């Protein structure tokens, strides 16, 4: 097994790290990549204003998740858990002892690579690990890299592979932290990492969560979910915006509802119940036991309480899972957009997509009927609001056949 080790302070992890990690996975054909946030680097203290280890760890987790290879890419706390200063030589030896059959690859950026001979016990590092160095595609760096490669091979018998990373993001962490404290720097960060920084007010960001512009709102929402759900949420936002234009609803509110609609999807039942209690949402017996029915309610509460969204957005999110009798246009739009956004794929989705732009009520009813049929097929209890939505629509002359 080929294992990559990508260490660093990840203070914060940025798009340069992401590009490098992706390039190493591909170029080396790694089976596994360990992102390894350093406890405190041996050669320097973390700069003032750096977040605690727990936050750097959480951001590294976001970066790992961003690669969308959950089995292969993991965050390792090996160095963070080790008391005192952490040395790479110890790390690679420890990993080697754990898995003697595996081939270890230490991934390093330019500065690290060019100073590798000055690290503690370079011979021990290169005894246990091969070295993969990322370089930008400019010529001057290529020459210095080649010289360093030769030197390390000669002095330590190192195995070295240089990989060019096209479009490697040129940003120092120092500069990025400075930008963040001035309310800038978004373009250097993966959205979910940026959102984590905003939500926790790291690096002096002080964002006013109740008045976020759309890019910041998206970042915060994505930070609350797994990367694999982000495409769906983006799809819902765009579809809701299109439907709002078609049906004369407020496009901005439709977008914001789309962005936030599944923001609590990853909370477990106890957390969902605690939020409902905190915000005074009354639940029936089915809701108390079916976690899938709660994220719409808790998502609405977070949208209002944390992000300052207005009632229209609150209610659109609140009803997006079951629907209900007598819905507003925005509520219908979010429900239908959630059902047929471009990433959805089920039998009949094309018909629903077409109908959504011809007759919103019939599209809504088709969605509700599809859910009812699915609940019957899966022998799950149908929520009373789902039934109420159907009954209200049919009582008002709306009809579809499945
Ligand atoms: O959050 P999404 O996956 O994007 O979609 P959603 O909010 O519509 O949630 C879908 C889930 O909700 C799906 O697993 C089924 C569940 N659900 C929707 N209506 C009902 C329901 N579950 C029960 N038991 N009864 C319902 O009426
Ligand atoms: Fe949902
Ligand atoms: Fe959804």
Residue-wise pLDDT for 285-294, tens only, equals 999 999 999 9
Query: Do residues 45 and 69 both lie within one domain?
Result: yes
In this predicted structure, the answer to whether residue 312 has a pLDDT above a threshold of 70 is yes
Query: Do residues 248 and 233 both lie within one domain?
Result: yes
262: Cβ below 6 Å to ligand 1? yes
In this predicted structure, the answer to whether residue 42 has a pLDDT above a threshold of 60 is no
pLDDT in tens, 207-245: 999 999 999 999 999 999 999 999 999 999 999 999 999
Q: Which ligand is nearest to the CA of 387?
A: 1
Domain containing 376 — which CATH number?
A: 1.10.3210.10
Q: Which residues contact 30 (CB under 8 A, 6 or more apart)?
A: 2, 3, 4, 24, 72, 105
Confidence label for 45 from pLDDT (cuts 50, 70 and 90)? confident
What does the buried/exposed string (b/e) look like for 347-375 if buried means 16 or more CB atoms within 10 Å of the residue's CB? eeeeebbebbeeebbbbbbbbbbbbbeee
255: Cβ below 6 Å to ligand 1? no
Query: Do residues 328 and 375 both lie within one domain?
Result: yes
Which two three-digit tokens encode residue 79? Answer: 């160095």
349: Cβ below 6 Å to ligand 1? no
Q: How far is the CA of 236 from the centre of ligand 3 (A)?
A: 7
In a domain, 402, yes or no: no
Query: Do residues 216 and 160 both lie within one domain?
Result: no
Query: Do residues 208 and 340 both lie within one domain?
Result: no
**Nearest protein Cα to ligand 1, atom 19:** 322
Query: Do residues 155 and 252 both lie within one domain?
Result: no
Give this prediction's pTM. Answer: 0.95
Residue with tokens 């509110």: 253
Rg over alpha carbons for the chain, rounded to the nearest Å, is: 25
pLDDT in tens, 231-280: 999 999 999 999 999 999 999 999 999 999 999 999 999 999 999 999 99
Which two three-digit tokens encode residue 342? Answer: 């471009």
Query: Do residues 200 and 343 both lie within one domain?
Result: no
Which two three-digit tokens encode residue 374? Answer: 């699915």
In a domain, 37, yes or no: yes
Query: Do residues 228 and 201 both lie within one domain?
Result: no
**Boundaries of domain holding 202:** 173-220
Long-range contacts of 377-382 (CB under 8 A, 24+ apart): 381/286, 381/290
Query: Do residues 292 and 388 both lie within one domain?
Result: yes
385: Cβ below 6 Å to ligand 1? no
Whole-number Å distance between alpha carbons of 178 and 183: 9
Q: What is the pLDDT of residue 268?
A: 98
**What is the average pLDDT across 172-200?**
97
Query: Do residues 179 and 189 both lie within one domain?
Result: yes
The number of distinct structural domains making up the chain is 3
Neighbours of 68 (CB within 10 A): 14
- Nearest atom within ligand 1 for CA of residue 380: 24
In this predicted structure, the answer to whether residue 138 has a pLDDT above a threshold of 80 is no
- Which residues face 5 on adjacent strands? 34, 106
Query: Do residues 184 and 275 both lie within one domain?
Result: no
Tell me the CA distances in angstroms from 134 to 126, 137, 280, 282, one per residue in order.
17, 9, 53, 55
Q: What is the pLDDT of residue 43?
A: 60
Query: Do residues 235 and 265 both lie within one domain?
Result: yes
Tell me the CA distances in angstroms from 185 to 21, 197, 333, 352, one per residue in order.
20, 11, 34, 40
């Amino acid at each position: 097994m080929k294992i990559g080790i990508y260490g660093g302070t990840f203070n914060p992890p940025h798009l340069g790290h992401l590009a490098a990690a992706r390039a190493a996975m591909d170029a080396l054909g790694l089976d596994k990549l360990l992102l390894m946030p350093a406890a405190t680097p041996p050669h320097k203290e973390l700069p003032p204003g750096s977040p605690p280890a727990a936050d750097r760890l959480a951001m590294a987790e976001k970066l790992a998740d961003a690669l969308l290879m959950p089995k292969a890419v993991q965050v390792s706390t090996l160095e963070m858990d080790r008391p005192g200063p952490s040395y790479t030589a110890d790390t690679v030896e420890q990993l080697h002892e754990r898995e003697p059959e595996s081939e270890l690859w230490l991934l390093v950026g330019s500065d690290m690579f060019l100073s590798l001979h000055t690290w503690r016990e370079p011979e021990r590092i290169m005894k246990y690990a091969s070295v993969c160095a990322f370089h930008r595609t400019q010529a001057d760096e290529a020459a210095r890299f080649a010289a360093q490669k030769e030197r390390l091979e000669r002095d330590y018998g190192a195995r070295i592979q240089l990989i060019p990373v096209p479009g490697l993001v040129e940003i120092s962490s120092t500069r990025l932290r400075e930008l963040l404290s001035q309310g800038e720097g978004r373009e250097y960060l993966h959205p979910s990492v940026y959102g984590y920084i905003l939500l926790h007010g790291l690096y002096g960001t002080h964002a006013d969560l109740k008045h976020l512009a759309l890019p910041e709102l998206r970042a915060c929402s994505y930070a609350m979910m797994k990367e694999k759900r982000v495409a769906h949420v983006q799809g819902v936002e765009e579809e809701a915006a299109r439907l709002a234009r078609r049906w004369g609803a407020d496009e901005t509110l439709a977008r914001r509802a789309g962005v936030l609609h599944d923001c609590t999807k990853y909370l477990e039942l106890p957390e969902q119940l605690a939020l409902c209690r905190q915000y005074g949402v009354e639940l029936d017996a089915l809701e108390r036991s079916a976690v899938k029915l709660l994220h719409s309610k808790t998502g609405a509460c977070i949208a209002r309480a944390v992000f300052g969204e207005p009632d229209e957005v609150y209610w659109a999110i609140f009803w997006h899972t079951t629907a209900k009798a007598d819905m507003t246009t925005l509520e219908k739009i979010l429900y239908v957009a959630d059902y047929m956004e471009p990433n959805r794929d089920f039998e009949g989705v094309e018909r629903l997509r077409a109908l959504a732009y011809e007759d919103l009520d019939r599209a809504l009813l088709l969605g509700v009927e599809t859910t009812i049929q699915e609940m019957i097929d899966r022998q799950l209890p149908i929520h009373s609001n789902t039934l109420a939505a159907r009954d209200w629509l049919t009582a008002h002359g709306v009809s579809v056949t499945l």
